[in-house]
């Protein structure tokens, strides 16, 4: 899984293991980087570091920078993806403390570590590395719309931060377990940290979004699948442009709609109601057919982490009957997820 991409998208070499920095975060959805690393790269995580006021936790051991270094950590990863991708002043003393304890810093924020004077000065003084993951490759081409060889699956969503990355990772793993050649293609900072390579789509200039997606998923053997991590939602008032460019450039043969039951408002935009699953399907067909007329929906991935097992299973069964396609929680797995995999590969 995660075969290297040619040309401009190289594999990253990151100092590991990590301590996960949660800052003073109070919204779980903004800590998706920390949760993603905990769930998909647990062997690379020694613990977490939280500031006063934080209410979000990964459940890992709470450590100081010195304690993390004593446990073998080589870097502090900013595990937050907040609105605007900013590193607020209230975090910076702790980040300097981490460097003083012997840790490099890794971030996937829009704000660059080296652009913050106190961090840049401390890094020079201490000989530490400041590693920004959210940096796109140079010389991204304009999209051509040319149909590429191989097969592609794209995860799309009714909102941000509800399971597109987890679903793509789970499906890529399931494909491989069935003997199907597959690669997870990361399009966000957390996925890149897990996979070791990819393109941070939300850091790409808008005119080059579709071209970056073509670059992310190049020509491949006829039976090979690229399972592409989706971004945002095509109806999100802030992030729809990224979602559309990724859809057009990915040219997916199959898409899977990700959704969190019970969520009513779009993340970070109070007052905007969540788009229905049916409308996301309709719009993905309408816009996706522009670059792949044969696009189809493979089913639905529900994030049921807030529900008890029995309630989640019953809900997904009802929704599968209503929608006419498999509905599964990739983390829960089981027969419902097997049915989703079957549908995607059909």
Asked if residue 3 has pLDDT above 90, the reply is: no
Going by pLDDT thresholds of 50, 70 and 90, the confidence category of residue 5 is low
pLDDT score of 85: 82
Burial degree of 165 (CB within 10 A; 0-12, 13-18, 19+)? buried
Asked if residue 6 has pLDDT above 80, the reply is: no
pLDDT averaged over the chain? 94
The answer to whether 244 touches 232, Cβ cutoff 8 Å, is: no
Q: Choose the weakest-confidence range: 4-13, 104-113, 120-129.
A: 4-13
**Cβ neighbours of 145 (radius 10 Å):** 13
Q: What does DSSP assign to residue 64?
A: -
Side-chain-side CA neighbours of 306 within 13 Å: the count stands at 10
Going by pLDDT thresholds of 50, 70 and 90, the confidence category of residue 10 is very low
For 196-207, the pLDDT digits (tens) are: 889 999 999 999
Q: Are strands 151-157 and 225-228 parallel, antiparallel or unpaired?
A: parallel
**Every domain range in the chain assigned CATH 3.40.50.300:** 151-345
- Measured distance CA(209)–CA(161) in Å, rounded: 20
Architecture of domain 151-345: 3-Layer(aba) Sandwich (3.40)
Does domain 18-132 match CATH 3.40.50.300? Answer: no
pLDDT score of 9: 43
**Every domain range in the chain assigned CATH 3.40.50.720:** 18-132
Mean pLDDT computed over 76-88: 88
H or E segment at 18? strand 18-23
Q: How far is CA 113 from CA 122, 129, 211, 330, in A?
A: 11, 10, 27, 34
Going by pLDDT thresholds of 50, 70 and 90, the confidence category of residue 1 is low
**Cβ neighbours of 235 (radius 10 Å):** 19
Asked if residue 116 has pLDDT above 90, the reply is: yes
- Measured distance CA(71)–CA(56) in Å, rounded: 22
Going by C-alpha positions, the residue among 212, 216, 175, 223 that lies closest to residue 340 is: 175
For 306-323, the pLDDT digits (tens) are: 999 999 999 999 999 999
The answer to whether 79 touches 33, Cβ cutoff 8 Å, is: yes
For 33-61, the pLDDT digits (tens) are: 999 999 999 999 999 999 999 999 999 99
First to last CA, the chain: 21
Sign of CA dihedral 21, 25, 26, 31: negative
């Amino acid at each position: 899984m995660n075969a290297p991409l040619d040309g401009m998208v190289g594999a990253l070499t990151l100092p590991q293991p990590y301590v996960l920095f949660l800052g003073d975060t109070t919204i779980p959805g903004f800590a998706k980087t920390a949760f993603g690393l905990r769930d998909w790269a647990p062997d690379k995580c020694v613990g977490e570091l939280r500031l006063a006021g934080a209410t979000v936790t990964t459940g890992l051991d709470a450590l100081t920078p010195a304690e993390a270094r004593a446990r073998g950590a080589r870097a502090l990863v900013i595990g937050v993806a907040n609105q605007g991708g900013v590193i607020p002043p209230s975090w910076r003393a702790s980040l300097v403390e981490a460097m003083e304890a012997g840790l490099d810093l890794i971030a996937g924020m829009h704000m660059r570590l080296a652009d913050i004077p106190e961090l840049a000065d401390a890094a020079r003084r201490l000989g530490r590395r400041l590693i920004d993951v959210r940096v796109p490759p140079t010389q991204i081409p304009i999209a051509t719309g040319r149909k590429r060889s191989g097969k592609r699956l794209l995860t799309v969503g009714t909102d941000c931060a509800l399971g597109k990355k987890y679903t793509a990772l789970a499906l890529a793993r399931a494909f491989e377990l069935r003997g199907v050649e597959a690669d997870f293609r990361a399009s966000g900072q957390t996925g890149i940290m897990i996979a070791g390579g990819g393109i941070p789509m939300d850091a790409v200039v808008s005119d080059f979004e579709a071209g970056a997606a073509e670059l992310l998923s190049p020509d491949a053997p006829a039976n090979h699948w690229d399972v592409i991590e989706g971004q945002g939602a095509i109806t999100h008032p802030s992030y729809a442009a990224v979602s559309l460019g990724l859809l057009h450039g990915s040219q997916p043969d199959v898409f899977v709609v990700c959704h969190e039951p019970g969520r009513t408002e779009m993340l970070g935009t109070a007052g905007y109601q969540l788009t229905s699953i049916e409308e996301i399907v309709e719009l993905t067909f309408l816009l996706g057919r522009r670059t792949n007329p044969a696009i189809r929906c493979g089913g639905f991935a529900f994030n049921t982490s807030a529900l008890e097992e029995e309630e989640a299973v019953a809900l997904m069964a009802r929704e599968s009957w209503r929608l006419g396609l498999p509905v599964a929680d990739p983390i829960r797995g089981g027969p419902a997820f097997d049915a989703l995999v079957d549908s995607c590969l059909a």
